[in-house]
Structure 1
């Protein structure tokens, strides 16, 4: 029996960066008011105007019709901590206080594989309910936590990236590894999980303050043994953190230089935050191929600061947009985009809905260098798709009565939307979340 099936509705995806103007760059946006996406064997066979594609569709092909709803590529989240699910919305003053009061005690619980499995399953369900089909996740320092995350993703056939946190100082003893054990555990996990199904391992030193020079050096050597692998860490999130790094690494010219000294700044290196950096740091990031994950919700929640997205763009630094669960306060990409818009407004950098929705789909795929697999509704791409209802809430329905333009419809979603707007989520063409059945 053929696996061919189709989704019909308003199709939207991005072919390229639409720019920062109110009008998107020509050819960057592809939208069909009545569109059709053909899916076979988990991949997109074709997409375009329904009236054109229906003429050649084999008789009897199943079609799921989503009238007046958007069919888009699944959202991609390039920075979050799955282990912090249960400490979301915990009161704390700023970053370092929050880590010591909530994060580290919670992460100690992941020594228990059963607990890690419970959180990983709940985490995956939250992602899918919010239209997120791919994420780059921090686990904890326990190998159990990686096994739990990847087991949950593998059973759903999700494209997921993640890795064991490496840290050997300035954290509770129960969470600390050593340079030797951190590398040994990481190698085992790489061999077990990397490239299994749609999974990718990410080498994960937590951040400079919790790794000795010996551990950072060993991490650089590990990356050299696995060229092309993702590396994720944190950079210049908080002023107190930046000063702490200066005291721990007095020989380094700045925070980024700590990582550069150990060959950690390279293509597919993802640095969360990057708030307190200057033009020189941005230029070195761009030259070496590193990327920044902009985390507006957590930056606001912890009072960390305002990220200068436009300056990063001007210096050709690749920037993704991320939830940063659990200091981030919502899994919903709409909420993340709302916070990004507010950060932009405070900085005199308005975020258009074109740039916002590009960033959370194709843009984030490019940041992670997985845009050959996901991020667009084009032939050959993996059929990770979300269905978005622009009338899902009473307020959105009121706004939609006035026949908004596409730009206005997207802006309504990014300011007023939440998880109620996700009608369904598909992974490799299979519906894994259906709001109607919840």
Structure 2
């Protein structure tokens, strides 16, 4: 048996990654203006200054030169709906009519495995084009939609989290499962896909109004039976939705408390939106290490409200950024940062660019309990990374030529960048997207 060490791959550029949250640490990031990233067997071997590391490469090693660009960990999108790809940018006066008019009819088509695979392939290619290498993904109620999604992500060797939507009431008959059937399908899918290759499974009740107490109880039982799985759902997105939950669960202290009652607050639980929470709700999220996926593009598009970064940070809620396509209007995490910055300003707080890039990388990995696996360049982490081009457009090139600090450079990328700024995307050390010349 051969014991030869795999030939390392090396990439030279400016290098940025995080080891702490810039909101709470003054020494949160590592920045190497002339940096080198060394990859072996799909994992990070070393990351640091080129001058210090290049001598450690074996003789004859090829260094791929991206000087003038930035290498960062791949972006992580913690809340996105792959079946809504084809209905992105659909007009509606609010969340609930948007679901009825566009979302549910679109999702009906995912009973067809061929259709589900076609959309999954496009969706994943779009994520990679935007520099997103990991996402927490909602499929539809159909188990075939989950199989199609994971088959497509496995073909690309991506670290992805996904799950079958569970909903047994307040939805069209053609998308309705049952409490027992939804739980049985979910358990079958966990056993088929969870930890197969880079796949991870998420127990996925759509949101409290579309699940009976019996279904929520079974979802909670599954979360306890399979503690290393994920759990994802929506909470406190829209004021009308919150009132609806209050009428359906009159004994609950709050919308979040509905999930708490059924044992669904825990590490690896990701809650989308979290706009209309109380102080006690935020405390419970922090106590249980349940994470919030902040979806600024979607919240603005549907008029749902403005996320309160200041109060979430005061409670130390684990935070990340998410596109929430198709309520969100872009797959790009750079565009999502753009919207997040403006949402924060409208709530009277300020999001530095350094914090936004943290939330889209290590912050998301921490919220998913995956620090050390993805999200930064720690030795042994999976080699998911991107190359950003600060000269991708004429305006970006003009603005970044005048930047006097790293913060200014990142801010320009966040406010002016989009998929065009992503020159190359790598997953597990493999090139999975290359921008056209």
TM-score under structure 1 length normalisation: 0.97
User: What's the C-alpha RMSD, in Å, of the aligned pairs?
Assistant: 1.1
Counterpart residue number, 2:291: 291
In structure 2, distance between residues paired with 1:319 and 1:187: 28
* SS of match in other structure, 2:361: helix
- Say how many residue pairs are matched: 433
Matches within 5 A, 1:68-107: 68-107=68-107
> Deviation of residue 403 (structure 1)?
4.3
Q: Which shows bigger deviation, 257-266 or 292-301?
A: 257-266
Q: Distance in 2 between matches of 1:315 and 1:375?
A: 23
Find the aligned partners of 1:262 and 1:426 in 2 and give their Cα distance: 39
Unpaired stretches in structure 2, ≥5 consecutive residues: none
Give the secondary-structure state (helix, strand or coil) at the position aligned to 2:325: coil
Paired residue secondary structure (2:433):
strand
User: Partners of 1:346 and 1:253 in 2: how far apart?
Assistant: 28
Aligned residue among 9, 12, 28 for 2:16? 12
Q: Which residue of 2 aligns with 1:411?
A: 411
Q: Deviations over 1:307-351 (max 9, x none)?
A: 111101101111111110110010111100000000011111111
Once residues 321 and 143 of structure 1 are traced to their aligned partners in structure 2, the CA distance between those partners, rounded to angstroms, is 27
Ranges of 4+ aligned residues in structure 1 off by more than 3 Å = none
Question: Is this contact kept in 1: 2:194–2:229, CA < 8 A?
Answer: no
Q: Distance in 1 between matches of 2:266 and 2:8?
A: 41
Distance in structure 2 (CA, Å) of the matches to 1:76 and 1:385: 11
Partner residue in 1 for 2:393: 393
Counterparts of 1:259 and 1:19, CA distance in 2:
29
Structure 1 residues 185 and 424, CA, compared in 2 at 3 Å: closer, same or farther?
Answer: same
CA drift at 1:11: 0.5
Q: How does 1:52-131 map to 2 (within 5 A)?
A: 52-131=52-131
SS at match of 2:383: coil
SS of the residue corresponding to residue 304 of structure 1 reads coil
Q: CA deviation at 1:3?
A: 3.1
TM-score (norm 2): 0.97
CA deviation after TM superposition for structure 1 residue 436, in Å: 3.2
Structure 2 match to 1:212: 212
Separation (CA, whole Å) in 2 of partners of 1:230 and 1:60:
44
Alpha-carbon distance, 1:27 to partner: 2.5
CA distance in 2, matches of 1:222, 1:56: 48
Q: Shift in Å at residue 289 of structure 1? A: 2.0
2:360 counterpart SS class: helix
Distance in 2 (alpha carbons) for counterparts of 1:331 and 1:254 = 31
C-alpha separation between the residues in 1 aligned to 2:16 and 2:319?
22
